[in-house]
Amino acid sequence: MASPKSDEDRWLRVFQPRPEREIRLVCFPHAGGAATYYFAMSQQLDPRFEVTAVQYPGRQDRRTEPLVDSVPRLADQVADALAAVCEDGPFAFFGHSMGAVLAFEVARRLRDRGQAGPVRMFVSGRRAPSRVREGRVHLRDDQGLLEELRAVGGTDHRVLGDPELLAAVLPVTRNDYRAVETYRWHGGAPLECPVTALVGDADPQTTVQDAEAWAGHTTGAFDLKVFQGGHFYLDAHRAAVCDAVSAALAGSCDDVGAAATALEGSTS
């Protein structure tokens, strides 16, 4: 009889293990997405950094598990699963679309629990939590949801044209849209880590100004990267995105090293 998986085993996927990593990059998928979306990033990112992708319930190898249609509840569960990660060296967060909101909420929970938080956060293709916009995509019928997937991109055209695959994809996508469209930020202290916002200049869901508003959610440094393209700009600019992420993480490595040196000096 197989032993039950730990929370970490159930929730986290490492495609390219890097035992000598300097920082672990925990990646949060978009609505309807899965951990494998970050496989390409795990291959292209600077080898000093290890990609650890979050696998939400209800998809791929977790397809038999109940879906979670609430960002706060999902954030609670991910924060629990990251308990061991918080004690295993510095880490950063990268979230795209719904994943950006979830990464933000997980970081808040870690802080409120007194645990280590990310040394940097990357928020991609998502307006700041303080920028509220009503969303009703999750209330559309299947045809309306399919039209949304075609409009924003990011879904393999072979899936969109296969009724059997669509039957599996649409309930997961609807669930995630419900989670992110009903999410509301209720204020609270900003984060302290540096934040890098990334956005496509023609994203129908997030304007450049919406992305800039993330600056108000941290007391740390803020940077904005704008790429040509729509909501899934990063598919067309994956190498440039990986370069930008690697450069920012290299700066975080310097910050971590400087903090460690200062701590050693204060205790000697």
Residues marked as catalytic? 97, 231
Q: What is the DSSP secondary-structure string of 19-65?
A: TT-SEEEEEE--TT--GGGGHHHHHHS-TTEEEEEE--TTSGGGTTS
Name the burial class of residue 254, with classes exposed (0-12), middle (13-18) and buried (19+) by CB atoms within 10 angstroms of its CB: exposed
User: Alpha-carbon distance 174 to 31, whole Å?
Assistant: 8
CA distance 27 to 25: 6
What count of other Cβ atoms lies within 10 Å of the Cβ of residue 147? 13
User: Within a 10 A sphere around the Cβ of 29, how many other Cβ atoms?
Assistant: 23
- The conformation of residue 83, written as its DSSP 8-state character, comes to T
Alpha helices in the chain (DSSP H): 7-11, 39-44, 71-81, 98-112, 142-152, 157-160, 163-181, 208-212, 233-236, 238-267
Q: How far apart are CA 176 and CA 155, in angstroms?
A: 14
| Nearest CA-CA partner of 84 in 138, 11, 154, 30 | 11
DSSP β-ladder status, 12-13 and 49-54: antiparallel
* Chain CA centroid to CA 136, Å: 22
- Characterize the bridge pairing of strands 23-28 and 91-96: parallel
